[in-house]
Amino acid sequence: MVNFTSREIRDITISMLVIAGVFAYVFSGDTQSNFLYLIPVTLIAVGLGFVFHELAHKFVAIKYGFHAEYRLWTWGLVLAIISAAVGFVFAAPGAVYIYGYDISREENGKISIAGPLTNIALAVIFFILLQFLSFSPILSLICGLGFTINSFLAFFNMLPILILDGAKVLKWNPVVWVITTGIALIMVAYPYIISYMKLTI
């Protein structure tokens, strides 16, 4: 049974709003009108990727019988705001904390990979939608950012750094780590590959 506490709902909502806000600020180029225009765009393109990533961790952990709850990290939100002020986003607003004993390497790996796989799935969905919604500038923007940001989130979280998902996945199954990281890397590189091909034709 999946339950959400009032604190967890509050933490997810605050994190989602801050993440959407800092990405909108960076993409807006410090222009207030662009910032306000981009807020709903980043809420969908970025906010959904963040929320679904964390919920994937929670759902898989619960499937294995653990109690899992999202907790906001205040300093992570502050860091996101500060980094946005200088022109880039380093977002670590919080994480799903898993409570339980005797979690196996396989369980930990599968819980960890659930987040990046969710971002890959979202990126694919946004990419497909982009092919059919190119007639609308706003929908194209949402889908384009959705593909780009979710691809990046998947790749970034698969890096084999201790605090990221990738380290736990690599420890569990190196083959799965290589395949998943490779797919995410190709998706991140795709826009640059297409641009290069257009220039060389």
Q: Catalytic residue numbers?
A: 54
Cβ-proximal residues to 47 (8 Å cutoff; 6+ apart), any chain: 16, 17, 19, 20
What is the b/e burial string over 114-133, where b = at least 16 CB atoms within 10 angstroms of the residue's CB?
A: bbbbbbbebbeebbebbeeb
Q: What is the largest CA-CA distance in the chain?
A: 58
Residue corresponding to tokens 């993440």: 19
Residue corresponding to tokens 């797919």: 183
With vertex at residue 165, the alpha carbon angle to CA 163 and CA 168, rounded to the nearest 5 degrees, is 90
Q: What is the DSSP string of 154-195?
A: HHHHTS--TTSHHHHHHHH-HHHHHHHHHHHHHHHHHHHHHH
Cβ(105)–Cβ(172) under 8 Å? yes
DSSP 101: S
